[in-house]
Structure 1
């Protein structure tokens, strides 16, 4: 259970599941001889990707960034297709820090693709679904929330009704920006039209959660964007803006998907200056 201090805030990573996705899709038009030097793949050309939420407590309020893969949500076919070898163990993870899902006050969702949103609901024995965080406000951009409920022909495979129908009344959506305490969510578009990043600021320190604009440390180059991105040129422009801003501010960049690093600081030459590595079991 890795931790990072940003000002007086403590960020705690929780196990939310793991997938193995095609490396070519994860690096788009970047040739394999380039990307595999920075991020290893297996014999199937798949790269390991975590789906690990971040817990942050501030003035008695409990925040979660993303929700993990959930448990019991994927069919056997989906597990094979997504290389899912581990489901979420979020309740047990929260118990380690003396908490229960009912104590989460906010879940900050950068976007609502299945690998981020499956952990929001759980299946019941009668075929229905219930909210995992019944007392939480679920925060996402208006555009993302609208597409979640009305996906197009391209996005319908990643926006699942099982992940939103049971918690519709909990969702609080925003237009371009949402602020609460040390958190600012900014809609960037790119990966999805409603995709957002999260700025975490306290005591003069800054962390930027770029989500799927920069899913791993190997995606630092603004041109290295995913084939999954709906609007890749928007991803590139957003990466240029926010990576530059973060480096200027000496910010931490935090990850939900990276299998090797939880957070990284880069120097002006793009070399890792500081890092929090994931403890590999």
Structure 2
């Protein structure tokens, strides 16, 4: 397959590109600078420009573009950027597809577990309704933009949970603290975080490329866990304590809406579509994922 990827330079995109290439696929990355190799193509998603001819002969488009949710404080300008950095690239890709007589047959577009908002202990399958809040609105509009792809294109929107990696991502700040033995849960720790290891994210996308699945897909491991369990598993794998809990009032005071929606909200997500379709996880249990994170090799 010839696969075009936006957001290929990020943590997930880098892992995914390697996984696709190892599986024998041809990967082309969309970049905003002058291309450095033949495997790169320039575009300007902020201006909504992409030469449709780039998509000719492409078998699948994977859309991972989006500014980091927790990288900076949520000022009004930053929230606008969170929306535009996702909607702009998605709409640009869809517009380019619409200009072709034979668009790429598959479009995998990233979304997030925060689509469901703060859902407490409710088990969330793909048919669960959207929640409320900034992140839920972003995910809803993001998925709606992807759904505008031309008729005949198989569209998959992946509602990805917390990605467990060895560096960066959602654990980028927590993991170094845990390695030092000075980390701990957020709030009371009873909020559910749908989690998945970085290798399994890439493997799931590869699986979805080659399957007949369409529509929303919960991208998480089959084992559900709350924050207390996730932090404890990582601490055990690192042979470190994790007793320094960060109280919810402190998080709300310092991080405001970012803390409420990203750290303290709960999504007890079930990967029903992946399970039914026959996907197998490399790290189906939290203990296995934590051991992989701690191994560092």
Between structures 1 and 2, the one with greater strand share: 1
Rg larger in structure: 2
Q: TM-score, normalised by structure 2?
A: 0.28
TM-score (norm 1): 0.30
